[in-house]
């Protein structure tokens, strides 16, 4: 999902809940859901 976001032109996101957030730790990866935050959705124009 994260790579799909990049393919769609999205940058990394500061929202830790967002799938486009860049996570350094496995715990961080587990915590995030597989969804875009409102800001990223609006960047996509969807
Ligand atoms: Zn990335
Ligand atoms: Zn986001």
What digits encode the pLDDT tens for the residues 33-44? Answer: 578 999 999 998
Which ligand is nearest the CA of 38, by number?
2
pLDDT over threshold 90, residue 22: no
Q: What is the pTM of this model?
A: 0.70
Place of tokens 């990866």: 29
30 is catalytic: no
- Calculate the average pLDDT of the chain: 82
pLDDT over threshold 90, residue 25: no
Q: What's the CA-to-centroid distance between 25 and ligand 2, angstroms?
A: 18
Which ligand is nearest the CA of 13, by number?
2
Q: What's the CA-to-centroid distance between 41 and ligand 2, angstroms?
A: 7
Instruction: Kindly tell me the sign of the dihedral angle through the C-alpha atoms of 31, 37, 39, 42.
Output: positive
DSSP string, 1-46: -HHHHHHTT---BS-TTSTTB---SHHHHHHS-SS--HHHHHHHT-
Q: What's the CA-to-centroid distance between 20 and ligand 1, angstroms?
A: 6
What digits encode the pLDDT tens for the residues 3-12? Answer: 989 999 999 9
pLDDT over threshold 70, residue 16: yes
């Amino acid at each position: 999902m994260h790579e799909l976001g990049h393919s769609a032109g999205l940058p990394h996101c500061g929202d830790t809940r967002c799938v486009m957030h860049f996570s350094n730790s496995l715990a961080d990866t587990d915590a995030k859901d597989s969804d875009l935050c409102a800001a990223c959705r609006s960047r996509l124009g969807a």
